[in-house]
Chains A and B, each alone.
Chain A
């Protein structure tokens, strides 16, 4: 079946502009994760959604970052007033039920460049 998809694949924006990144998880997966992959930083957790529960936002680096998940499926990560340090690859992952032993399935990522 289809895997996790993300759009756009690449995004170039100017400092100060807002951007929206989209993630379509695997159908039937109730858990959805956002990570950020920066040069030399590895992957950092940003936010986690599980079903109708309140999201775990503990990884969001600032209040310029927000995310929502509508209808328990598609998720949008929004970065307001982008800064150059926001340049990174943003990865979305989903898993069946969010348990600790499950495999997370990753999308190809959105490469964001802030000029």
Chain B
């Protein structure tokens, strides 16, 4: 079985400051890792994903994430946030061959002017 833990349910940060949203996972097999963003009243949109290869993955809107196998982590970072980054962020895993994504409970990022 697998699980995904997003340690912070809410993260407030000032505009133009850096941010890190934490994600840890547990799985007995290798997994693929995803970050999705949900803007208010919208569906989820893929930010980035790690499948294999380089552990540093760059995504849309200036976000990046680093896969750390020994720490079983996949933290999301952005060096300078904008007001428009205010949203809920979900980390997810998928076991190769499985039919579904398994999500964490989400982190609400609020960017303060």
Q: Identify the A interface with B (CB < 8 A).
A: 3-4, 33, 35, 40-45, 48, 50, 56, 58-59, 91, 93, 98, 100-101, 103-109
For the complex, count residues of B whose C-beta is within 8 A of A: 25
Q: Is there an interface contact between B105 and A40, defined as CB atoms closer than 8 Å?
A: yes
Could you list which residues of chain B lie within 8 angstroms of chain A, going by C-beta atoms?
Answer: 32, 36, 41-46, 49, 51, 90, 92, 94-106
9 A-B pairs closest in CB distance: A106-B43, A45-B100, A42-B105, A43-B103, A106-B44, A48-B99, A56-B99, A108-B43, A100-B96
CB atoms of B105 and A100 under 8 A apart? no
Cβ-neighbour of A42 out of B43, B95, B97, B104 (below 8 A): B104
**Chain A residues with Cβ under 8 A from B100's Cβ?**
33, 35, 45, 48, 56, 59
Q: List residues of chain A with CB within 8 A of the CB of B51.
A: 101
Closest to B92 in A: A43
B residues near A100, Cβ cutoff 8 Å:
32, 94-98
Q: Which of B44, B51, B100 has the most CB atoms of chain A within a 10 A radius of its CB?
A: B100
The answer to whether A103 touches B44 (Cβ under 8 A) is no
Most buried by B among A4, A41, A58, A101: A101
Closest chain-B Cβ to A45's Cβ sits at a distance in Å of: 4
Please give the distance in Å from A29's CB to the nearest CB on chain B.
Answer: 14
Decide: B42 and A42 in contact? CB cutoff 8 A: no
Within 8 Å CB of B101, what residues of A? Answer: 33, 43, 45, 104
